[in-house]
């Protein structure tokens, strides 16, 4: 029977749209409230590892996601000239006949998830915000910026690391902090040599990574450590990125540097991190995705953890007739797992900022993290 008949989801990103689809599948009428416009989706790409693909498969979403992106298996470490130093295949933890991981453009993934959510019956309100939340023993009422008032059994806050819902319900003391690192991302044409997760490493320790997004595209990423958040004037971004790529002589990176221009998508994002302590719910409001756990990307698992959250929350709401029991079970299954991934990713970030161990230390942490993610949710 389930504990919830109707739910609000605040935030129309990866976690919000996935949980909307998941809830509709179990018979929960779902309304997504998204402050942005449908046509405003931007960004380079995202990588979804096997644990995320496994969750998407359980929700009937994986085939469409794979069709919209590019599956890959290879993990390759190369020097700055492109010579392969080591190469291995990632384990296919979710299906031995399907790719180990997926790269996909964020706007494309967003569209796939939106299409499935709406086909499942979810309603999505774009350009809308929640102005007030009132909850009692029987439900939660939201007042919206468009003048509407609506009521449901549950409100799911999937509105990101700087969640306004989290702030309203849990207080301002829970907020992200800067991890001392950020990432440049640059979408470029993909060459045949960019056949998976490729890491180019200089003797100085500087690295550029490449991840495929489609047959034609990939994105380059470059991590930068700074004590304060980096701010580069917009008219200097292209020169700045060229300078980052200049020490690398691999032909594909030389070509990428030559293509840097204002018509190419370049982004920089500082890592603002948060790990909410349990419980993740208060009354009839529950946190999901970055609103509960905003990670550094060393484990490439931010989006994947939000997808897992969506699956587990829908499972617990489906199998429990009591809402409090369902939310406690959701948090029990998710908080420890998310914290472990958060801790491993943050440890790698700290090591990259101020190395205290040998080169193999971070790779050991990464292998530990991947093995942990491969375990059942």
Task: Give me the pLDDT at residue 4, please.
Answer: 96
Task: Give me the pLDDT at residue 204, please.
Answer: 86
Task: Give me the pLDDT at residue 42, please.
Answer: 65
Task: Give me the pLDDT at residue 18, please.
Answer: 98
pLDDT(249) > 90: yes
In tens, the pLDDT along 113-171 reads 999 999 999 999 999 999 999 999 999 999 999 999 999 999 999 999 999 999 999 99
Task: Give me the pLDDT at residue 14, please.
Answer: 96
Closest alpha carbon to 104 in 192, 191, 217, 210: 217
- The rounded percent of the chain whose pLDDT value lies above 90 is 87
Least confident window among 13-17, 43-47, 120-124, 256-260: 43-47
Over residues 273-296, mean pLDDT: 97
Chain mean position to CA 244: 25
In tens, the pLDDT along 316-330 reads 999 999 999 999 999
Q: How confident is the model at residue 262 (pLDDT cuts 50, 70, 90)?
A: low
Kindly list the distances between the CA atom of residue 33 and the CA atoms of 7, 17, 169, 258, 312, in Å, as whole numbers in the listed order. 11, 10, 17, 42, 21
Phi/psi at 195 (5° precision): -100, 10
Average pLDDT, the chain: 94
- The rounded percent of the chain whose pLDDT value lies above 70 is 98
pLDDT(359) > 80: no
Least confident window among 14-18, 28-32, 164-168, 357-361: 357-361
Q: Please tell me which residue, 359 or 48, carries the higher pLDDT value.
A: 48
Residue 10: beta bridge partners? 33, 157
In tens, the pLDDT along 61-111 reads 999 999 999 999 999 999 999 999 999 999 999 999 999 999 999 999 999
pLDDT(20) > 70: yes
Sequence-ordered list of residues with C-beta below 8 angstroms from that of 273, at least 6 positions apart, any chain: 161, 176, 177, 178, 179, 294, 295, 296, 342, 346
User: Within a 13 Å sphere around the CA of 179, how many CA atoms are in the beta-carbon half?
Assistant: 29
Task: Give me the pLDDT at residue 233, please.
Answer: 94
pLDDT(1) > 60: no
pLDDT(2) > 90: no
In tens, the pLDDT along 39-60 reads 776 667 899 999 999 999 999 9
Count CB-CB contacts under 10 A for residue 223: 19
Q: Please tell me which residue, 360 or 279, carries the higher pLDDT value.
A: 279
């Amino acid at each position: 029977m389930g504990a919830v008949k109707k739910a609000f989801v605040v935030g129309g990103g990866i976690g919000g749209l996935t949980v909307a689809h998941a809830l509709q599948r179990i018979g929960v009428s779902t309304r997504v409230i998204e402050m942005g416009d449908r046509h405003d989706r931007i960004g380079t790409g995202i990588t979804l590892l096997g644990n995320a693909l496994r969750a998407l498969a359980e929700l009937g979403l994986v085939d469409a996601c794979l069709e919209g992106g590019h599956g890959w298996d290879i993990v390759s470490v190369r020097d700055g000239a492109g010579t392969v130093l080591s190469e291995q295949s990632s384990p296919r933890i979710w299906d031995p006949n399907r790719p180990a991981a997926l790269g996909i453009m964020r706007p494309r993934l967003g569209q796939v998830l939106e299409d499935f959510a709406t086909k499942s019956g979810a309603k999505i309100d774009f350009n809308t915000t929640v102005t007030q939340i009132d909850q009692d023993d029987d439900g939660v009422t939201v007042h919206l910026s468009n003048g509407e008032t609506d009521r449901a059994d549950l409100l799911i806050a999937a509105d990101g690391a700087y969640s306004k819902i989290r702030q309203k319900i849990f207080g301002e003391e829970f907020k992200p902090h800067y991890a001392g690192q950020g990432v440049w991302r640059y979408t470029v044409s993909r060459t045949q040599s960019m056949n998976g997760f490729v890491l180019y490493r200089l003797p100085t320790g500087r690295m550029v990574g490449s991840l495929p997004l489609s047959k034609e595209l990939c994105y380059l990423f470059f991590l930068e450590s700074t004590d304060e958040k980096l701010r580069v004037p917009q008219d200097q971004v292209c020169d700045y990125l060229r300078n980052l790529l200049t020490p690398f002589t691999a032909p594909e990176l030389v070509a990428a540097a030559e293509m840097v221009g204002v018509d190419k998508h370049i982004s920089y994002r500082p890592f603002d991190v948060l790990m909410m302590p349990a419980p993740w719910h208060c009354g009839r409001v529950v946190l999901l995705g970055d609103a509960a756990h905003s990670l550094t990307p060393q484990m490439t698992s931010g989006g994947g953890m939000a997808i897992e959250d969506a699956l587990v929350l829908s499972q617990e709401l489906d199998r429990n007739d009591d809402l409090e029991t369902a939310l406690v079970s959701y948090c029990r299954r998710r908080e420890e797992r998310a914290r472990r991934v958060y801790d491993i990713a943050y440890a790698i970030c700290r090591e990259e900022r101020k190395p205290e161990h040998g080169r193999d230390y971070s790779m050991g942490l990464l292998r530990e993290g991947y093995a942990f993610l491969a375990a059942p949710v």
